[in-house]
Chains A and B, each alone.
Chain A
């Protein structure tokens, strides 16, 4: 899987939008962008994924640039419970390397 680059940490004020960037400049055409988060010592939680188009669900929005070399996860109204490590992962959905490969992620701290 292509490697991703994320800032190690970010802060966000409660109620404001949290914008988490991710660079994946070597992404291949068949690789999807996935976002997971891990709240302290719990199992990672799926957030959202996309290939080319922007995606939105009840948790977040995913904005992928037209050249697909970077993306941004947006939590529209961050709460204290959104404090977690956020992982950006690129992944193929076929072949023998379909496992999620986690990097070091971004520690998001939502401040009251």
Chain B
């Protein structure tokens, strides 16, 4: 069974540009979570989607947004990129009903120059 897949693995953007990160959950999982991990820091919760709806949001500005598609895959969009947005972006998926563990992908390393 395929795990959570994220693309691209690495992304380099210029300050002010937009970045789009993609996540495919494990088959059958309806919930997708996004996290940001800046270098040397912990994982910060960004967004949670389930059944196509945004269920919760972390303490991030509105230029961080996303969506979940009917097949439960998800996109994270970061607008007006700033140097501080450079980080590893991690996606996790889980079953929602009676969910227990969440499974993480290997992340997208975003570098803003």
Indicate whether A and B interact: yes
**Least CB separation from A100: chain B residue:** B102
**How many chain B residues touch the partner (CB < 8 A)?**
24
Partner of B42, one of A41, A93, A96, A105: A105
Q: How far is the CA of A93 from the CA of B98 in the complex (A)?
A: 7
Q: When the two chains form their complex, are residues B42 and A103 in contact, meaning their CB atoms are under 8 A apart?
A: yes
Q: When the two chains form their complex, are residues A46 and B102 in contact, meaning their CB atoms are under 8 A apart?
A: yes
**Cβ contacts under 8 Å, A42 to chain B:** 106-107
Partner of A96, one of B4, B55, B102, B106: B55
Known contacts A41-B88, A99-B33, A100-B33; is A46 also within 8 Å of B45 by CB?
no
Does chain B have a CB within 8 A of A101?
A: yes
**Cβ contacts under 8 Å, A46 to chain B:** 101-103
Q: When the two chains form their complex, are residues A49 and B101 in contact, meaning their CB atoms are under 8 A apart?
A: yes
Q: How far is the CA of A100 from the CA of B100 in the complex (A)?
A: 11
The DSSP consensus for interface residues of chain A is loop
Please encode chain B, from 53 to 83, with 1 for each CB lying within 8 Å of some chain A CB and 0 for all others.
0011010000000000000000000000000
Q: When the two chains form their complex, are residues A43 and B107 in contact, meaning their CB atoms are under 8 A apart?
A: yes
**Least CB separation from B56: chain A residue:** A96
**Cβ contacts under 8 Å, A102 to chain B:** 35, 42-45
- Please tell me the size bucket of the interface on A: 20 to 34
Q: When the two chains form their complex, are residues A34 and B101 in contact, meaning their CB atoms are under 8 A apart?
A: yes
B82-113: which residues lie under 8 A (CB-CB) from chain A?
88, 90, 92, 98-107
Extra contacts, 9 of them, besides A49-B100, A93-B99, A98-B99 (Cβ < 8 A), are: A41-B88, A43-B90, A43-B105, A44-B104, A45-B104, A49-B101, A98-B48, A99-B33, A102-B35
- B residues with a Cβ closer than 8 A to A are 4, 33, 35, 42-45, 48, 55-56, 58, 88, 90, 92, 98-107
10 residue pairs, one from A and one from B, having the closest CB atoms: A43-B104, A46-B101, A102-B43, A44-B104, A99-B45, A43-B106, A99-B48, A96-B56, A102-B42, A43-B105
